[in-house]
Structure formats: C-alpha cells, structure tokens
Amino acid sequence: MSDLQSMDTLVSLAKRRGYVFQSSEIYGGTGSVWDYGPLGVELRRNVMDAWWSAMVHQRDDVEGLDSGILMHPRVWEASGHVEGFTDPLVECKHCKMRFRQDQLGASACGQKPSKAPGETDSCDLGEPRLFNLMFETFMGPVKDAAATVYLRPETAQGSYVNFLNVQTSARQKIPFGVAQMGKAFRNEITPGNFIFRTREFEQMEMQYFVEPGTDDEWFEYWRAQRLEWHRSLGIRGEKLRLTPHGPNELAHYAKTAEDIEYEFPFGWKEFEGIHNRTDFDLGRHQEYSGKKLEYVDSASGKRFVPYVIETAVGVGRTMLVAMVDAYREEEVEGDTRVVLGLHPRLAPIKVAVFPLVKKDGMPEIAEALHKELRAAGIPSFYDTSGAIGRRYRRQDEAGTPWCVTVDGQSVEDGSVTVRDRDTMDQSRVAASAVRAWVQERLGGVA
Ligand code: ATP
C-alpha cells in the first residue's frame, strides 16, 4: 500500500472524478482559482457542516454570523491591513519571475532543476518591495479614491465589528465566540500547489472573546480542540503537528500563534492557525470608529475590552488534507487499486447501489433501495454500467464507503451484499435493513 507521491496524481484524479476543475479552463485557466465539481461541492459542504456542527451547534458558547465580503474601508485601516498586510516581493532582473522573499529556499528560479521559459540559471534578484495582498475594487458608479473598497482578506473583522451586536442579541457572557465561514481574497504573489494557495478561497474562522489574563489558558484549550477535530475526521495523527510562530514570524496583531501543519507531498505546511490576537482588533476598532467595544460584566460591573483567541482554517486546505491523507494505491490481484479512503462523514456519496445485471428483477430491487436511501437523506448513487469490478473501482476512487449489489439471490430471498471500500469485505444484509445499517455507521449524519 502506498501514499500519495505526487500532487499531479491527485490533480488528475480530482478532475477525472469531478472533485476539482481548473477555473476558466477553456481559456487556459487562471492558475490561482479552482472550481469544485459535483463531488467537490459535496466534500466542501461536508467539511463546512462538520466544522459548523462542532464549533456552533454542539456548543452553547459560540454563535454564528455571516457578515458581508465588502466592508467600510476604515475597517481595513483599523485592522492594520492597509498598512501591514504585505508580503516581500522580489523580482529577477533577467527572467522577470517574481517570488516571495520569505519563501525563496529551493524554489528560487536559479535552483530549479528544469527551467521555465525565460528563466536564467543564476537569478539576479532585486531589492524586496512590499506588496499589499488585498484586492481593491470600487463601490458605486464613480471610480475614484473615495469609492475604493477591499475584498476581505479574512472573515475575522466582520466578527469584531459585530462583537456587541452578537453579544447583546444572543445574551452571551464572556467567554464566548463568534463563528463565520465565507469567502476571502488575497492577491498572493505565488499561488500554487493545487488548491493549497489560491487567490479566492474560503475560511472557517472563530473568534473567542475572553477576559484578559485568561487568554493563555484559552489558547491552549482551542489548540487542543482543533487538533482533535482534524483527528476525528480520520486524518492520521503522525501527519499532523503543531508549530509555534517564532517572535519574528508573528503577525502584527498576535501575542502567540501556532500553526497546525500537515505533511503534504510538498512538505510540512500550515492549514490552520490558532492566534492570540489580544485586544488589538477591538481596541483599534474603538479608536477608529469612536464607538466603545467594551464588555460589561453584569454581576461585578467590571468593564474591559476582551482578548481574542482565533481559530482560522481554510476550507480548500482542509479538503486538500482530507484528500491527500485518504489517497492510497494497493496491489490487488496484479492490478493497482486506487482508493480515496475519506471518512464516511466527508465522503460525497455514502452508498452506491448496483444491480449485478440489468435483468431478472434485479434493477427493480436496486432502484427501490436507491430511492429509499435518497428519501432518508443518504446521498446514494445508482449505477448499472460496466462489469461489477469496474463499478467498485470507480466508487473506490470517488471515496464511496459502501457499495450494495443486488444479485440473483436478492431476487429469491431479499438479501443484498454490502461491500466495504477499505477492507473489500462483503456481507449479506436484508435489503430492507440496509438503510438502518448505513445510518448506524454514519452515526446519525447523512
Ligand atoms: P500562509 O502562511 O500559508 O500564507 P497565513 O498564515 O497567511 O497562511 P492565515 O491568515 O492564518 O494564513 O489564514 C488562516 C487559514 O486560511 C490558513 O491556515 C489557510 O488554511 C487559509 N488560507 C490562507 N491563505 C490562503 C490562500 N491563499 N489559499 C487558500 N487558503 C488560504
């Protein structure tokens, strides 16, 4: 059995099975945006539902919010993004290629084993220039400086400016959190590694407001919770690690920060950040808006600007981790079997139903079962085409945990075979019991 060796293998599986397509492919693609196909949108939705369930529905102390992508431009002055959300850009004077200075390492153009058109062997890099990552656009009919607005580079600021709205309307007491999922945009200098770094992406972020002095404790708490969440979705523990930011790496707002990293085929990389953002953001919004953003403790009358512990994870990166971690190749009877062993909670299709042959009463039983599963809210797929072995292999690649086959015996005694994707074991189950069998294994989550 072997893990994923190269991203190209996953990119082609993702396209073949309808997970991810290149954006605007017929025009040559954009290189920095990807589109999710029929299975991709289901995986994305399952990731987001699992996060929302763990972070909002299963807790009394976190409320949901959905704020706009476009915000008052002063928000981004207050947050420090206009001035400080920059990456150091360096350009080669010969080949004109651009790099992020802090990510040069082995990917600097002079050190690449094969050269792209225009690259020279020894690059002559110019002085670094700070490049702001925010996308600008214009609000209203007049395209002038006064109408400049930004596409948000993070969802967090929407939670800060709504802090008191949420707290008072939901009658929350500190500590409590505000969770948001939504699009964010960053004009990255070097997007790449498939859906790992894109210019348009989605985040799932939670801002937890705490009393100053209790922030270190809550930081530890959330770090452990978030790591556990990834494990609960089946991600292998040995492929996950926590890496604290050194003093020189900390963002302008952070007191402490730690990354949850995964070992991708291209190395250990961050896919979630846990940040102690102190009272920086609320304090700055107070200053820039002139409106108080204090919490008043009703019992003691104590007033303070809360500290914030943030958990921030990308939807696309979580999908990528799930797919990379799930991918494996196995030798089965001289053939290579490709399996996307996604956790059943994340799998786009939960069950595939096949009649062994298209006659002798088998399609009727199979179709009835498929409809029963669908009606129960279990994503089911009906397939009659090709040899049964090929149908199994297609579902293995798509990540479907169970395949149900209706055969000659089914017509006689009403039983069907259920095949497990991971073990390939087959067991006979009464067709009338399949729905409950699947529901039990999904733990109530369709
Ligand atoms: P990086 O160092 O990789 O640029 P970051 O530290 O700037 O990431 P955060 O600002 O902490 O990232 O954002 C939180 C999460 O949002 C990241 O862990 C990642 O999952 C996701 N994310 C950030 N930038 C991108 C991007 N360009 N494309 C896809 N996901 C992203």
Domain residues for 200? 7-73+151-323
| DSSP string over 100-164 | EGGG-GGGSGGG-SSPPTT--SS--B---EEEE-PEEEE-SS--SGGGEEEE-S-SHHHHHHTHH
* 126 C-alpha to ligand 1 centroid (Å): 26
159 and 265 share a domain? yes
Q: Is 320 in the pocket of ligand 1 (CB under 6 A)?
A: no
Least confident of 84-93, 154-163, 401-410: 84-93
β-pairing verdict for 351-355 and 380-382:
parallel
How far apart (Å, rounded) are the C-alpha atoms in residues 263 and 363?
44
Q: What is the pTM of this model?
A: 0.92
How far apart (Å, rounded) are the C-alpha atoms in residues 417 and 355?
11
β-pairing verdict for 307-314 and 303-304:
unpaired
Cis peptide before 363 (omega within 30 of 0): no
Q: Is 17 in the pocket of ligand 1 (CB under 6 A)?
A: no
What's the alpha-carbon Rg for the chain, to the nearest Å?
A: 25
306 and 420 share a domain? no
Give the tokens for residue 365. 């039983």
Residue-averaged pLDDT of the chain: 93
Nearest CA to ligand 1 atom 29: 197
* 314 C-alpha to ligand 1 centroid (Å): 7
Q: Is residue 355 part of a domain?
A: yes
Nearest atom (ligand 1) to Cα of 312:
14
Q: Is residue 416 part of a domain?
A: yes
Ranked by mean pLDDT, which of 89-93, 351-355, 439-443 comes out on top? Answer: 351-355
Q: Cβ–Cβ contacts within 10 Å for residue 323, how many?
A: 23
pLDDT in tens, 17-54: 999 999 999 999 987 999 999 999 999 999 999 999 99
Q: Is residue 337 part of a domain?
A: no
In CATH, what number is assigned to the domain containing residue 407?
3.40.50.800
Q: What pairs with residue 363 in β-bridges? A: none
Q: What is the pLDDT of residue 31?
A: 76
425 and 364 share a domain? yes
DSSP 268: E
Residues 6 or more apart whose Cβ sits within 8 Å of residue 339: 326, 327, 328, 329, 330, 396, 397, 421, 422
Chain-centroid distance, C-alpha 258 = 18
Q: What is the pLDDT of residue 444?
A: 60
In CATH, what number is assigned to the domain containing residue 270?
3.30.930.10
Q: Is 201 in the pocket of ligand 1 (CB under 6 A)?
A: yes
Q: Is residue 188 part of a domain?
A: yes
CA distances from 135 to 109, 155, 175 (A): 27, 14, 34
Q: What is the pLDDT of residue 207?
A: 98
Q: Is residue 138 part of a domain?
A: no
Number of separate domains in the chain: 2
169 and 36 share a domain? yes
pLDDT at residue 399 is higher than 90: yes
272's enclosing H/E stretch is strand 267-278
Q: Which of 81, 193, 201 has most ligand 1 atoms within 8 Å of CB, for mutation?
A: 201
Q: Is 421 in the pocket of ligand 1 (CB under 6 A)?
A: no
H helix runs in 150-243, sequence order: 156-161, 163-169, 215-232
Q: Cβ–Cβ contacts within 10 Å for residue 204, how many?
A: 22
171 and 209 share a domain? yes
262 and 166 share a domain? yes
* 65 C-alpha to ligand 1 centroid (Å): 20
- Residue 314 in contact with residue 271, Cβ under 8 Å? yes
296 and 376 share a domain? no
Q: Is residue 370 part of a domain?
A: yes
Q: Is residue 329 part of a domain?
A: no
177 and 259 share a domain? yes
Q: What is the pLDDT of residue 127?
A: 83
357 and 423 share a domain? yes
> Which of 257, 288, 323 is at the close of a domain?
323
- Residue 169 in contact with residue 156, Cβ under 8 Å? no
Q: What is the pLDDT of residue 122?
A: 67
What does residue 31 show for φ and ψ, rounded to 5 degrees?
A: 80, -10
CA distances from 221 to 228, 239, 275 (A): 11, 21, 12
306 and 245 share a domain? yes
> Which of 323, 338, 371 is at the close of a domain?
323
Q: Is 197 in the pocket of ligand 1 (CB under 6 A)?
A: yes
Q: Is residue 217 part of a domain?
A: yes
pLDDT at residue 94 is higher than 80: no
pLDDT in tens, 329-359: 999 989 999 999 999 999 999 999 999 999 9
Residues 6 or more apart whose Cβ sits within 8 Å of residue 209: 163, 167, 174, 175, 176, 177, 178, 295, 306, 307, 308
pLDDT in tens, 217-241: 999 999 999 999 999 999 999 999 9
Give the tokens for residue 274. 């846990």
189 and 289 share a domain? yes
> Which of 281, 305, 323 is at the close of a domain?
323
180 and 261 share a domain? yes
- Residue 207 in contact with residue 162, Cβ under 8 Å? no
